[in-house]
A and B are shown apart, each in its own frame.
Chain A
Amino acid sequence: MHMLLRIDGVSCSYDSAMVLKDVTFDVPSGTLFGIVGPNGCGKTTLIRCVSRVLAPVGGVVWLDNELLSGMSFRDVASKVGVVPQTTRPGFAFTAYEIVAMGRTPYIGRLQMESEEDLAVIKGAMLSTDCWHLRSRTFSELSGGEQQRVVIARALAQEPRVLLLDEPTSHLDLGYQLQIMDMIEGLAGERNLIVVAIFHDLNMAVRYCENVVLLNEGKVEEVGGTLDVLTNENIERVYGVKVAIERSPSTGLVMIVPTARRAKNRGSGGGD
């Protein structure tokens, strides 16, 4: 069965400056959906809206037929897991303790983790290949290991939606592919709705079936990745001329920047 995340006319503001304006699109389950756009276009804000950390000033977010906007933090957390750009826990928690925090929405104030909770934690860590790291201190792990632990934490929430904010931006080439392959696999196996922010357009082209291109808080275009990431769209939004080529040897599509457009880009706010 296909599920659907529906962003319906969402507008958002910080200190009266509108960051998102009437953003509308649907995300299907089972494949990766990318959010792309220049710095300050509202990508991270959109993720904060869907995870209900930020209340939209207009519009709503639907998950199937349920309204996510207006649910308690606890209820949202049992449906939506988030992998932030960076994770820096205060004090020295072990990888296991970090993943166990994913069970927070399921455990009552005076309860300990049940057998089922422990099984879910172990399952999540096995599926991101970090069970062997469980007793290591989180801050001493490498970037790729940390990211696997944090993804396991999100999986331990047993979410239907997984939101990732530039999941590979701090990782080396090997880890980038490892993490993205893993996420792609999880989306298929668990029929998850996966929404990920990308700065690297080539990562979006490689892994996403659909993307939304944001510009200054508005949807520029949404649809199939290569239909959205065209020369014209990229030049208009990023101010960069690109060549989009299919490599004859690998068959992969590559977006190669060729020149910066002379005209200055409008300056955006913080990302």
Chain B
Amino acid sequence: MILFGGMLASIFASLAFGTVGPIGAGIPSRMSWEDFFNSIVAEGPRSNILMNLRLPRILLACAVGAALSISGAVMQCLFRNPLAEPYILGVSSGAAVGVSLGLIWGVTSLLSTPILAFSGALITVAAVYGIAQVRGRIKTDTLLLAGVAIASFLSAVSFYMLYAAGKDRDLIISWIMGSFALTTIDEVLITTFVLAMGGLVVFLFARDMNVMLMGEETAKQLGVDADTVKIIVLVTASILAAIAVAFVGIVGFVGLIIPHIVRMTLGPDNRILIPASAFAGGTFLIWMDVLARTVAGGQEIPIGIITAFCGAPFFIYLLRSRKTGYAYAS
């Protein structure tokens, strides 16, 4: 509940940051708090910036952060590995290839883009899973390495496709590194809808996923149909990762670090971890986006740069603390 409140507060507070707003560079002059509150309720050019330009991107950042965090929490749980998440496993890159195809073919409607992203993500997760499966068992090391290899391969593919199609460089960069600029309210609605559905499905299987952390054989002996649950939940997690990529591009590391931070503070029970990760992830990405649009004055920095800047050191910390940190099964 506290996390949910924090997320709502962040949505509102982050609205105040930016060139138009009481906190930020202030062009031409800094807005007063009074003007700010007036602009939220009243019509006007400033209100247009706040409510039609900034609010959608804040909401989308929140939804994307939540989707990636749930996806990461699920993958870490299913593969019983702290490093599993949609970016590392190549699922995000797979979705990006799907969307890139749409950009090249000129098919970029509100429906086709997510569907292409889902297709790319699901094909990728099936491929990575297939590579890592040896006689019915998943080899986790192979899974991660195959994921990393496929992720960079597919990133290169989508980069090349856009480059060869003569797309302009800014678009390619914002796509590869993610950006919340030019978000429309329709994109927010679609993303939120998929997030809500996916989040619900995953939450319904939270207890089963707890038991599956004991290993799939033990899970079956405790009454969980592990094979079925795994397919349902993994597909859902991939769809969540794909919707996060569909309108924004690839945002790395959110799905990795948020579930870990939540797990360290609230414990590994998925019934708590999944909703808490969603709220924490939403909040985190709202503030990362605030940094992205304010740090360099009026210029946008791709969000992926900011999350990688925070995420990569944390990733290294995790690698180093595997022995001494909280217990993992490998």
Among listed A74-82, A207-215, A244-252, interface-contacting one: A74-82
B141 at the binding interface (Cβ < 8 Å): no
Taken together as a complex, chains A and B put the C-alpha atoms of A87 and B221 apart, in Å, by: 13
What 8 new A-B contacts, CB under 8 Å, besides A88-B215, A89-B327, A93-B267?
A15-B135, A73-B221, A84-B221, A90-B77, A101-B214, A104-B222, A137-B326, A139-B327
List, in ascending order, chain B residues with CB within 8 A of A72's CB. Answer: 223, 225
List, in ascending order, chain A residues with CB within 8 A of B263's CB. Answer: 91
List, in ascending order, chain B residues with CB within 8 A of A89's CB. Answer: 213-214, 327, 329
Question: Which A residues are closer than 8 A to B by beta carbons?
Answer: 15, 48, 51-53, 72-78, 80-82, 84, 87-94, 97-98, 101-102, 104-105, 107, 109-110, 137-140, 153, 157
On whether the beta carbons of B220 and A104 are closer than 8 Å, the reply is no
On whether the beta carbons of B217 and A53 are closer than 8 Å, the reply is yes
B210 at the binding interface (Cβ < 8 Å): yes
Taken together as a complex, chains A and B put the C-alpha atoms of A239 and B25 apart, in Å, by: 85
Most buried by B among A74, A87, A91: A91
CB distance from B314 to the nearest CB of A (A): 17
**Which of A48, A91, A105 is B327 in contact with, Cβ under 8 Å?**
A91
**Which of B205, B214, B223, B328 is A105 in contact with, Cβ under 8 Å?**
B223
Interface residue total, chain B, C-beta cutoff 8 A: 29
CB distance from A109 to the nearest CB of B (A): 6
On whether the beta carbons of A105 and B222 are closer than 8 Å, the reply is yes
9 A–B contacts from the bound complex (CB under 8 Å): A51-B221, A53-B221, A76-B223, A84-B218, A90-B77, A90-B80, A91-B329, A101-B214, A137-B326
B268 at the binding interface (Cβ < 8 Å): yes
**Which of A80, A81, A102, A107 is B207 in contact with, Cβ under 8 Å?**
A107
List, in ascending order, chain A residues with CB within 8 A of B222's CB. Answer: 77, 101-102, 104-105, 153, 157
On whether the beta carbons of A52 and B220 are closer than 8 Å, the reply is yes
Question: Which B residues are closer than 8 A to A by beta carbons?
Answer: 77, 80-81, 135, 204-205, 207-208, 210-211, 213-215, 217-218, 220-225, 263, 267-269, 326-329
Residue of A nearest to B271 (CB): A112
With A73-B220, A88-B329, A90-B328 known to touch, is A104 a contact of B207 (CB < 8 Å)? yes
On whether the beta carbons of B217 and A48 are closer than 8 Å, the reply is yes
Taken together as a complex, chains A and B put the C-alpha atoms of A81 and B221 apart, in Å, by: 7
With A15-B135, A97-B269 known to touch, is A84 a contact of B217 (CB < 8 Å)? yes
On whether the beta carbons of A53 and B220 are closer than 8 Å, the reply is yes
List, in ascending order, chain B residues with CB within 8 A of A84's CB. Answer: 215, 217-218, 221
On whether the beta carbons of A92 and B327 are closer than 8 Å, the reply is yes
List, in ascending order, chain B residues with CB within 8 A of A110's CB. Answer: 204
List, in ascending order, chain A residues with CB within 8 A of B77's CB. Answer: 90-91
On whether the beta carbons of B218 and A91 are closer than 8 Å, the reply is no
Residue of A nearest to B135 (CB): A15
With A15-B135, A157-B222 known to touch, is A93 a contact of B268 (CB < 8 Å)? yes
**Which of A51, A94, A104, A139 is B224 in contact with, Cβ under 8 Å?**
A104
Q: Which 3 A-B pairs have the closest CB atoms?
A: A77-B223, A105-B223, A90-B80
Residue of B nearest to A47 (CB): B221
Taken together as a complex, chains A and B put the C-alpha atoms of A51 and B217 apart, in Å, by: 10
CB distance from A204 to the nearest CB of B (A): 23
Most buried by B among A48, A82, A84, A92: A92
On whether the beta carbons of B326 and A104 are closer than 8 Å, the reply is no
On whether the beta carbons of A109 and B204 are closer than 8 Å, the reply is yes
On whether the beta carbons of A140 and B223 are closer than 8 Å, the reply is no
Most buried by A among B135, B214, B267, B326: B214
List, in ascending order, chain A residues with CB within 8 A of B221's CB. Answer: 51, 53, 73, 76-77, 80-82, 84
